[in-house]
Chains A and B, each alone.
Chain A
Amino acid sequence: MKFSLGPNLFFWPKTDVEQFYQQAKTSSADIIYLGETVCSKRRELRAKDWLSLGRELAQDTNKQIVISTMTLLESPVEIITLKKLCDNGDLLVEANDLSAVQIMRDLNMPFVAGPAINCYNLSTLKILLKQGMMRWLMPVELSGDWLATILNQAVDENIRDQFECEVFSWGYLPLAYSARCFTARSENKAKDDCQYCCINYPQGRKMNSREGEQVFVLNGIQTMSAYQYNLINEVAQLNNIGVDIIRISADSEQAFTQLDKFKAQLATPKTFSLDTDRECNGFWHQIAGMSVG
């Protein structure tokens, strides 16, 4: 089992990003994903900055470095940037939209299919394999049983060795993408005049019910879970069904502690009780995502 640090989904100042990845260098992650996946207006780091940061990490560590790409691409300019990232020459790429899959196929380069690619079954997985997918993350709403079914089918068809399987296992879940910027809306700003206000919310903005129940996190055009997804008690199961990589989302510096905590579960498994006001694992157990199973 390997452990990865997922892309940071929030918008942080450049110095904070750089500091975070300095720490990531000495973290226990085997794989580091980095890049902007949510909003093309977030340009504290531009495409070339992400690539040079990626190369620096690749040079200074033995970790595998992967460039993560945007999920909702709407304009030709965004596609140009995407092509630059995809055709970077040396670093592996995570596709989060079929546009990136198409580009990687044209380049004849292998890619990681991120959790925003809708792969719900083996037939779809086989199509992605034909395009060059070398690693697969299932959509976050799917369960452990659903995943096990697909992985078993892949074994039966003798294709299980053609891809790695990674699972989003800890952090705020990316749940939805919109044309509308909800953070700008929360400040009564238009999206075209957002003043990059996401930068003021390094953990997004909590959206609660009128009874104070935490429901979602507003993160620009992305809506996230208000509770942190936590599969700490499912590490053995992930291992048993043939998952290759556990992903810890780069929510904050807490991610580094979580990496160690998850890793320790392999050697000496412990049962942790989840805090139902802060954590969830419902998706894995095929119940309401925000609940604990």
Chain B
Amino acid sequence: MELLCPAGNLPALKIAIDNGADAVYIGLKDDTNARHFAGLNFNDGKLAKAADYVHQRGKKLHVAINTFAHANGEDRWKKAVDNAVAIGTDALIIADLGVLDYAANKYPEVELHVSVQASTTNLEAIKFFKNNFDVNRVVLPRVLSVQQVRQLAKTSPVPLEVFAFGSLCIMAEGRCYLSSYMTGESPNTVGACSPAKYVRWQETEQGLESRLNNVLIDRYQEDENAGYPTLCKGRFDVDGNVYHALEEPTSLNTLELIPDLMAMGIVSVKIEGRQRSPAYVEQVAKTWRMALDRCKSDPDNFQVDGAWMQTLANLSEGSQTTLGAYHRKWQ
């Protein structure tokens, strides 16, 4: 089972590889990827350096081109595919059917991975991608329970990758327009959810307030830790009851599922966080490497180390983690 780590820049990529990643995924410096943030991602020169560093160490590079191509700008997505192939990427992670079609026809030798943004949650949908584009891997959205993943792994004609750790998207990825409803910009069209330019913090008499495009997302008392106002993780009012109506600020952590995922034949576990620091990548890669190696050597007696959990919790939103949808009760 491959450990697939995120990198938003060259230092993070090097640290990921040096700390045990089998593969690293990155994005280009434009809106063709779903982490299109200022100061992040790879221009052409850095892209070539990234490929060299990874390949010299016998590891793999995946390039995410996983937003949906704009009606008047499809060439930008095609060019992103061309550039990634030119530097020798090992896999392309794509969500858009048109872009997949382009890549499958022009570069049949390059591995195609169906991005989580394509929201492929069942066997027939997997067949669609297999039949039309002969894809090599499908990344499952974070909406399935572990039983559902197991069932799918048994029957899927395509190897499966799952999300293992990081920020938790609670909606079926690629099918969420909450961000564009509030700001006009969404992961699908712009490559960002709850974009930073719409965030405003304000000290008020009632407490510290976070807003997204003027909508109040949360209000914090002095003893509370304030988190980034991702719009689905704020506190809202439903008939007089104020609570995290959609989700608490928390991160996904599936360390305890490693033996299950290995037994199912999941080919890769993905760490979320291309927008996070090299220090985050280092800690997460190191911890997951240790856990995967220990499970591989003795799967029957695998136990999650308390220190690993502590390390990961410290890197998590609200310093707490969850099994998310993998655990039926979360749903």
* A residues apposed to B, CB below 8 Å: 71-76, 78-79, 82, 97-103, 105, 116, 118-124, 126-128, 139-142, 146, 149-150, 153, 173, 175-182, 185-186, 190-192, 205-213, 215-216, 218, 223, 225, 282-283, 286-290
Report the minimal beta-carbon distance from A93 to chain B, rounded to whole angstroms.
14
Which B residues are in CB contact (< 8 Å) with A208? 236-238
Report the minimal beta-carbon distance from A122 to chain B, rounded to whole angstroms.
7
Which B residues are in CB contact (< 8 Å) with A116? 175
Which B residues are in CB contact (< 8 Å) with A122? 71, 74, 98
State whether A127 touches B186 (Cβ < 8 A): no
19 contacts between A and B (CB under 8 A): A73-B121, A75-B151, A79-B123, A79-B124, A98-B124, A99-B125, A102-B125, A102-B131, A122-B71, A123-B98, A123-B99, A124-B68, A177-B175, A179-B143, A180-B170, A186-B245, A190-B331, A209-B216, A225-B181
State whether A211 touches B181 (Cβ < 8 A): no
State whether A218 touches B245 (Cβ < 8 A): yes
Contact of A127 among B98, B176, B184 (CB under 8 A): B98
Interface residues on B, range: 35 or more
* Given A118-B118, A179-B144, A207-B245; A99-B124 close (CB under 8 Å): yes
Query: Is chain B's interface secondary structure helix, strand, loop, or mixed overall?
Result: mixed
* B residues apposed to A, CB below 8 Å: 68-72, 74, 95-99, 101-102, 118-125, 127-129, 131-132, 142-145, 148, 151, 170-172, 174-178, 180-184, 186, 188-189, 213, 215-217, 219, 235-239, 241-242, 245-247, 325, 328-331
State whether A178 touches B171 (Cβ < 8 A): yes
- The complex places the Cα of A131 from the Cα of B189 at a distance, in Å, of 24
Report the minimal beta-carbon distance from B258 to chain A, rounded to whole angstroms.
21
State whether A205 touches B239 (Cβ < 8 A): yes
State whether A289 touches B180 (Cβ < 8 A): yes
State whether A283 touches B180 (Cβ < 8 A): yes
- The complex places the Cα of A223 from the Cα of B328 at a distance, in Å, of 20
- The complex places the Cα of A177 from the Cα of B247 at a distance, in Å, of 13
- The complex places the Cα of A215 from the Cα of B246 at a distance, in Å, of 12
- 5 nearest A-B pairs in the assembled complex, by CB-CB distance: A123-B98, A99-B124, A289-B181, A120-B68, A179-B143
State whether A182 touches B122 (Cβ < 8 A): no
- The complex places the Cα of A290 from the Cα of B72 at a distance, in Å, of 24
Contact of B95 among A118, A142, A149, A213 (CB under 8 A): A118
State whether A74 touches B181 (Cβ < 8 A): no
- The complex places the Cα of A215 from the Cα of B218 at a distance, in Å, of 13
Contact of B236 among A100, A142, A210 (CB under 8 A): A210
- The complex places the Cα of A71 from the Cα of B247 at a distance, in Å, of 21
Which B residues are in CB contact (< 8 Å) with A100? 124
Report the minimal beta-carbon distance from B177 to chain A, rounded to whole angstroms.
4
Closest to A97 in B: B125
20 further contact pairs, Cβ within 8 A, besides A97-B122, A120-B96, A207-B246: A74-B143, A74-B145, A74-B148, A75-B151, A97-B125, A102-B127, A119-B97, A121-B68, A123-B96, A123-B102, A139-B188, A177-B172, A179-B145, A192-B329, A206-B238, A210-B237, A211-B216, A212-B237, A283-B177, A290-B181
